[in-house]
Amino acid sequence: MEDRKRTVIAVIIACVVLVAVLYSFGQNLFIQTPELVLPDPYASDHMGQVSANPEAGGIPVEVTPQTVQLVVASLTRFESYSRNVTAAYLQNGETVGTISAQVWVDDGWVRTDTMLPSGVMESSVVGDGKIWLWYDGSDEVYQTVADEHSADLTQRLPTYEDVLTLDASGITQADYVERDGQDCIYLEFEQPELGYLYRYWISVSSGLLIAAETEKAGELVYTMSSYGISSPLSEELEMFVLPDGTTLRS
């Protein structure tokens, strides 16, 4: 009986400690994330701040290096959309390669048609835990297992959600800004041991990365931008088809 009492007491103490730790990292951990309401981008005294819906019990959140991970985690990507993406690779200040891609996304399925620097069209479909890849003019289709980063990699996009796993001390700047007519969360972080500096612009309305830059030792080596986003996707069944006519998503 004494052993049982000691066990019960130990469990209670462990639960109390766990609750205290979780409380210290955020009281809203177990409630629904409030909807973000954007401030007026032309009101200078509101720049750098995102407000949570007061009716949902939220509070204003200033976008800073310390809070930007919370704000990015609150964003949600469009589940169904199409858009165009352009990425350029630079060396010594000159562009050495450019790719352009058309992207269609619907309910976790991603089709990407990418024009490579060589002029060859590369097509891919990611979905159901797999990736299918083929090239224009060839009937051969490569298939392998996909992971959570495969869809971004086929678009030559950095996986910007990785910022959520960073030590906040690596985030050097964060703000609420406007980019290409869209309200965005801007952030940059450094990897000083490797000499890299990364800049991201994430659309608040779509949750999508709309622009990015990478510097190596102070020299720009990568740029990315997207445009022409349309949501929802109206032709989803037509896009997820292999060259032989096999429909991957019914």
For residues 79-96, give the mean pLDDT.
93
Q: pLDDT tens across 127-161, in order?
A: 999 999 999 988 899 999 998 888 888 888 877 77
**Backbone φ and ψ of 238, nearest 5°:** -75, -25
Of 109, 108, 105, 107, which Cα lies nearest the Cα of 85? 105
Residue 7: in which H helix or E strand, if any?
helix 2-24
Of 225, 218, 124, 238, which Cα lies nearest the Cα of 182? 225
**pLDDT surpasses 80 at 15:** no
Please tell me the predicted confidence (pLDDT) of residue 230: 92
What's the chain's average pLDDT?
Answer: 77
**pLDDT surpasses 90 at 236:** no
- Record the pTM: 0.74
- Token couple for 204: 């608040």
Least confident span in 31-35, 132-136, 174-178: 31-35
Q: Where are the domains of the chain?
A: 2-74, 80-239
**pLDDT surpasses 70 at 96:** yes
Least confident span in 2-6, 73-77, 148-152, 198-202: 2-6
Of 113, 199, 205, 192, which Cα lies nearest the Cα of 160? 199
Q: Does domain 80-239 have CATH number 2.50.20.10?
A: yes
Please tell me the predicted confidence (pLDDT) of residue 163: 74
With a CB cutoff of 8 Å and minimum separation 6, the contacts of 81 are 104, 105, 206, 208, 229, 230, 231, 232, 233
Least confident span in 83-92, 108-117, 121-130, 161-170: 161-170
Please tell me the predicted confidence (pLDDT) of residue 60: 52
CA angle, 176 as apex, 225 and 210 as ends, to 5°? 15
